[in-house]
A and B are shown apart, each in its own frame.
Chain A
């Protein structure tokens, strides 16, 4: 199955270079009482966490594509976006009635992807079908 969807995980840093700190970052480190090295290490850890979240978003997208394949070719996943302020994922889905946004919580996604058990993946499926207004398929399964 082709993974032709976007994964959007906004970075917390405007400077994408983990090794060379900008003057603003050096100032921020001093302001927090950190050495530049401590700040750099902290930034590297955050970059790694962001990278892991992107991988989670990619994994989530592949699961969602599998769920959408039940609905036929008229539905397809456009994007998977991390919402840091609400700790949730927004799934941008193209549907016959137009583009739809389905929001699923981080807990639900983590439960499904960490366990990959049938019942946990079923919860993810139910919430996506409900978000798309295809409740009748929840009961048929």
Chain B
């Protein structure tokens, strides 16, 4: 699943709490917009921390233990078919 552009609720892992505990105040879970994915982890924008700016934070893959996001299977919208129609 591609996370770029999604609002995701994260729960920090023990190593994430140790690394980011001072940065993310208020508990081990937070909501963030995923701006970019990389080999190292996710570049995120945290509304609570960076409300007025566009600063982003690298959340390394092992810094979070769980993530929750809205997953809504939706019916794909079919485009009208091009081509010939059988005469009625």
Interface on A for B, CB 8 Å cutoff? 105, 107-108, 111, 115-119, 122-124, 126-127, 130, 133, 135-136, 138-139
Whether A126 pairs with B72 at a CB distance below 8 angstroms is no
Whether B76 pairs with A123 at a CB distance below 8 angstroms is no
8 other A-B residue contacts (CB within 8 Å) besides A105-B4, A126-B5, A138-B33: A108-B5, A115-B76, A117-B72, A117-B74, A119-B74, A123-B4, A126-B33, A135-B47
In the complex, A138→B54 CA distance in Å?
Answer: 13
Question: Given A107, A108, A135, which contacts B45 in the complex, CB threshold below 8 Å?
Answer: A135
Closest chain B residue to A128, Cβ basis: B5
Residues of chain B with a CB closer than 8 A to A136's CB: 51
In the complex, A136→B45 CA distance in Å?
Answer: 12
In the complex, A116→B74 CA distance in Å?
Answer: 10
In the complex, A119→B33 CA distance in Å?
Answer: 14
Tell me the minimal C-beta distance from B69 to chain A in angstroms. Answer: 9
Residues of chain B with a CB closer than 8 A to A122's CB: 5
In the complex, A123→B45 CA distance in Å?
Answer: 14
- Interface of B, helix, strand, loop or mixed by DSSP: loop
Residues of chain A with a CB closer than 8 A to B7's CB: 126, 138-139
Question: Can you list, as one digit per residue, whether each of B36-48 has a CB less than 8 Å from chain A (1) or not (0)?
Answer: 0000000001010
In the complex, A133→B4 CA distance in Å?
Answer: 17
Tell me the minimal C-beta distance from A64 to chain B in angstroms. Answer: 14
Residues of chain B with a CB closer than 8 A to A123's CB: 2, 4-6
